[in-house]
């Protein structure tokens, strides 16, 4: 149920008006400070999604934890708050629903998400029925949600207060003095300076990145992408973008609207995300190598840009420009961090740490991962357990996971208008996401050192998974250099691909440690078969190799010539064709297949 009731709204107002803690004069001599003098176990700077969910997770796992959240906004967040992160993917949804027990709130107060939906074939941007449409015909077996961040964050404030977490709105952190013996945090509220002492300090301030600036943790990411987005106080339903009844009936009425809809073209994608109360979020995300930022960095320019590249969408949105709620741009939005967690009792989470790309909506995923690592470190530390090794392992794991995730996006925007490549990339990216990170996270694998040791060992699951994914992303890029096809007029149910339906339906299943390791291994075996089959088909197109060639997905590179590929296909690690996977991939393959004698067959 929604937490905001009349009584709760009144209590929320009290939070905004009253200072709920009593600050002590700070001892300026930090050498005299010890952790027993701390006012709080944890001070979190930032009361948005990352900070509030961390506070709730800490309180759930260690009820005696004394937590203070400092948030600079003075009032409840407005509905349809202008923030990235309206669409939850499965890992982030699991974190909110299952780890934080927010399932009832999400079901009652937000929208159930009808998965991701892609409209490819930009050559037919004036007729959506001609575009290749990729999505499901049913709700995903494991649910996710479309989230109004303002409503959710207001509900989280009330939930936190009910748990005994202290929150100060209108608080601007002015300085943080870090010390192994304890941290001193100064902040202003109503032009009065206050100070508190804490054992732990967590930065959840978003892109302001208080600790990253203080500790020189900024790290550039080679992924220069720009975005603009706006909200309309109107329902934008793609079902009504055509009168073609046959096209509409591919999906039951009112379901397309609930998806995160993507309009894909060379160098860009456009999102259309529904919010509660019949509002809609629209975003343009583009690589400046194809679309200069100054061509869409205002609302007027964005509408003109849409008229050029997505004219049907523009004609629909033009009818609702009087319902514009807000507009925001973000240039070169991706960035990394040199460090995320420290045994010196500080951490960064959410966008205060790193940000990749809104495609596939990974923001809430990384909040769930980061908060879980931080909460585990803090809980163990408060119980007097040594956390030096864990802090290093968790920091390394975060960096490696972020690096692997980045491969999904880097230099890929040029492929977004190449339909057959994108069909294979969607299969691959979804399969890897559901097969490994989701299974590990929902079974606490990322905070199990025994599992992490096996996962990250030389030639362990993690190494093989990273190599497999890197090889596949490079295959897509190389394929893109030679791609010349136009494919259109297809509506594809992603769950007709049996391996994808299997992986998605298993999200949230519970395993003990031995079962978990076995499950990750078997899922990796499945990914190897998927990788090998995609490789066969692409190599057949580019190199005239047999469509039933054995493939070693680790050792064979698509850049090799035909002679080298055929030689390596005879190696001991090369995989034979798996008939079920061949049929699965074939359901989303529309390019022509070459026979050995160079004849084409469908």
pLDDT for 21 equals 39
Q: Which two tokens stand for residue 13?
A: 């107002």
Same domain? 134 vs 34: no
- For residue 1, what pLDDT band results from cuts at 50, 70 and 90? low
Task: Say what percent of the chain tops pLDDT 90.
Answer: 87
Tell whether the model's pLDDT for residue 553 goes beyond 60. yes
Alpha-carbon torsion 514, 516, 518, 521, what sign? negative
Q: Which pTM does this prediction carry?
A: 0.94
What is the DSSP code string of 268-335? Answer: EEEEEEEEGGGEEEEEEEE-TTTS-GGGSSSHHHHHHHHHHH-HHHHHHHGGGGGGEEEEEEESS--B
Number of neighbouring beta carbons within 10 Å of residue 458: 5
pLDDT for 592 equals 81
Same domain? 288 vs 310: yes
In a domain, 408, yes or no: no
In a domain, 407, yes or no: no
Q: What is the mean pLDDT of the chain?
A: 92
Same domain? 277 vs 359: no
pLDDT for 208 equals 86
Mean pLDDT of all residues in 335-348:
97
In a domain, 286, yes or no: yes
Number of neighbouring beta carbons within 10 Å of residue 300: 10
pLDDT for 16 equals 44
Q: Indicate the SS3 state at residue 374.
A: helix
Number of domains in the chain: 3
Name the residue among 131, 115, 134 with its Cα closest to residue 588: 134
Give the CA distances from residue 275 to residues 236, 239, 259, 278, in Å, rounded to whole numbers and listed in that order: 10, 16, 11, 6
Same domain? 348 vs 209: yes
In a domain, 336, yes or no: no
pLDDT for 84 equals 59
Same domain? 488 vs 510: yes
Do the beta carbons of residue 257 and residue 235 sit within 8 Å? Answer: yes
Mean pLDDT of all residues in 297-319:
98
Mean pLDDT of all residues in 456-474:
94
Same domain? 441 vs 582: yes
Nearest-10 crossing angle of helices 388-406, 449-456: 50
Q: Indicate the SS3 state at residue 175.
A: strand
By the 10 Å C-beta count (0-12 exposed, 13-18 middle, 19+ buried), 28 is classed as exposed
Name the residue among 329, 518, 485, 499 with its Cα closest to residue 417: 485
Tell whether the model's pLDDT for residue 86 goes beyond 90. no
Do the beta carbons of residue 287 and residue 297 sit within 8 Å? Answer: no
Measured between alpha carbons, how far apart are the two ends of the chain, in Å? 52
Q: Residue 327 and residue 219: Cα distance in Å, rounded?
A: 28
Same domain? 173 vs 257: no
CATH number at residue 180: 3.50.50.60
For 366-394, what is each residue's pLDDT tens digit? 999 999 999 999 999 999 999 999 999 99
In a domain, 398, yes or no: no
Look up the domain containing 239 and give its range.
110-147+222-326
In a domain, 280, yes or no: yes
pLDDT for 110 equals 96
Q: Indicate the SS3 state at residue 373.
A: helix
Q: Which two tokens stand for residue 281?
A: 């979020």
By the 10 Å C-beta count (0-12 exposed, 13-18 middle, 19+ buried), 411 is classed as middle
For 17-51, what is each residue's pLDDT tens digit? 444 433 344 344 433 345 566 899 999 999 999 99
Same domain? 279 vs 251: yes
Q: Residue 79 and residue 122: Cα distance in Å, rounded?
A: 33
Same domain? 594 vs 544: yes
Q: Residue 364 and residue 369: Cα distance in Å, rounded?
A: 9
Same domain? 154 vs 139: no
Residues shown for the chain: 602
In a domain, 550, yes or no: yes
67 phi and psi, to 5 degrees? -125, 135
For 95-129, what is each residue's pLDDT tens digit? 999 999 999 999 999 999 999 999 999 999 999 99
Same domain? 474 vs 553: yes
Q: Residue 10 and residue 2: Cα distance in Å, rounded?
A: 15
Mean pLDDT of all residues in 273-278:
94
For 225-264, what is each residue's pLDDT tens digit? 999 999 999 999 999 999 999 999 999 999 999 999 999 9
In a domain, 413, yes or no: no
Q: Residue 488 and residue 122: Cα distance in Å, rounded?
A: 9
For 539-548, what is each residue's pLDDT tens digit? 999 999 999 9
For 167-202, what is each residue's pLDDT tens digit? 999 999 999 999 988 999 999 999 999 999 999 999
Beta strands 491-493 and 133-135, pairing class: parallel
Same domain? 505 vs 591: yes
């Amino acid at each position: 149920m929604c937490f905001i009731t009349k009584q709760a709204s009144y209590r929320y107002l009290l939070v905004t008006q009253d200072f709920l803690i009593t600050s002590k004069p700070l001892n300026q001599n930090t050498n005299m400070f010890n952790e027993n003098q701390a006012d709080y176990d944890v001070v979190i700077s930032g009361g948005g999604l990352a900070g509030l969910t961390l506070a709730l997770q800490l309180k759930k796992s260690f009820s005696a934890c004394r937590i203070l959240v400092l948030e600079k906004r003075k009032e409840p967040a407005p509905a349809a708050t202008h923030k990235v992160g309206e669409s939850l993917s499965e890992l982030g949804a699991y974190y909110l629903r299952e780890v934080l027990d927010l399932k009832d709130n999400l079901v009652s107060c937000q929208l159930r998400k009808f998965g991701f939906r892609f409209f490819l074939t930009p050559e037919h941007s004036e007729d959506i029925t001609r575009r290749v449409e990729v999505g499901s015909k049913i709700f995903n077996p494991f649910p996710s949600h479309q989230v109004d961040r303002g409503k959710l964050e207001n509900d989280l404030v009330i939930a936190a207060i009910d748990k005994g977490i202290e929150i100060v709105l209108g608080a601007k952190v002015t300085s943080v003095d870090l010390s192994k013996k304890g941290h001193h945090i100064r902040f202003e509220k109503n032009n009065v300076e206050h100070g508190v002492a804490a054992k732990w300090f967590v930065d959840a301030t978003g892109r302001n990145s208080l600790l990253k600036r203080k500790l020189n943790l900024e790290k550039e990411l080679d992924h220069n992408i720009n975005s603009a987005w706006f909200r309309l106080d109107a329902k934008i339903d793609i079902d009504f973008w055509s009168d073609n009844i046959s096209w509409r009936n591919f999906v039951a009425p009112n379901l397309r609207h609930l998806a995160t809809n993507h309009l894909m073209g060379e160098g860009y994608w456009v999102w259309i995300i529904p919010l509660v109360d019949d509002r809609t979020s629209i975003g343009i995300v583009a690589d400046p190598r194809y679309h200069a930022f100054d061509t869409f960095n205002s609302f007027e320019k964005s509408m003109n840009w849409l008229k050029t590249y997505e004219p049907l969408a523009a004609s629909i949105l033009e009818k609702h420009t009087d319902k514009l709620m807000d507009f925001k741009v973000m240039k070169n939005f991706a960035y990394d961090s040199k460090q995320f967690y420290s045994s010196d009792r500080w951490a960064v989470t959410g966008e205060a740490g790193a940000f990749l790309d809104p495609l596939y909506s990974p923001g809430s995923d990384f909040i769930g991962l980061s908060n879980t690592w931080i909460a585990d470190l803090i809980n163990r530390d408060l119980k007097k357990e040594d956390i030096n090794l864990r802090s290093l392992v968790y920091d390394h794991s975060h960096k490696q996971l972020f690096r692997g995730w980045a491969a999904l996006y880097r230099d890929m925007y040029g492929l977004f208008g190449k339909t057959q490549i994108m069909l294979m990339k969607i299969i691959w990216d979804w399969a890897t996401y559901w097969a490994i990170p989701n299974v590990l996270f929902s079974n606490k694998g990322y905070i199990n050192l025994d599992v992490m040791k096996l996962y990250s060992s030389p030639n362990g699951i993690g190494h093989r998974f990273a190599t497999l994914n890197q090889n596949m992303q490079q295959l897509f890029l190389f394929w893109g250099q030679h791609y010349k096809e136009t494919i259109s007029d297809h509506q594809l149910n992603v769950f007709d691909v049996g391996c994808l339906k299997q992986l998605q339906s298993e999200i949230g299943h519970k395993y003990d440690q031995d079962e978990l390791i076995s499950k990750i291994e078997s899922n990796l075996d499945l990914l190897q078969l998927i990788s090998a089959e995609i490789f066969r088909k692409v190599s057949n197109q580019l190199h005239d190799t047999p469509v039933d060639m054995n493939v070693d997905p680790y050792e064979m590179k698509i850049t090799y010539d035909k002679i080298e590929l055929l030689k390596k296909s005879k190696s001991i690690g090369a995989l034979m064709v798996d008939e079920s996977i061949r049929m699965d991939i074939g359901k989303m393959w529309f390019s022509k297949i070459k026979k050995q004698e160079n004849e084409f067959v469908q």
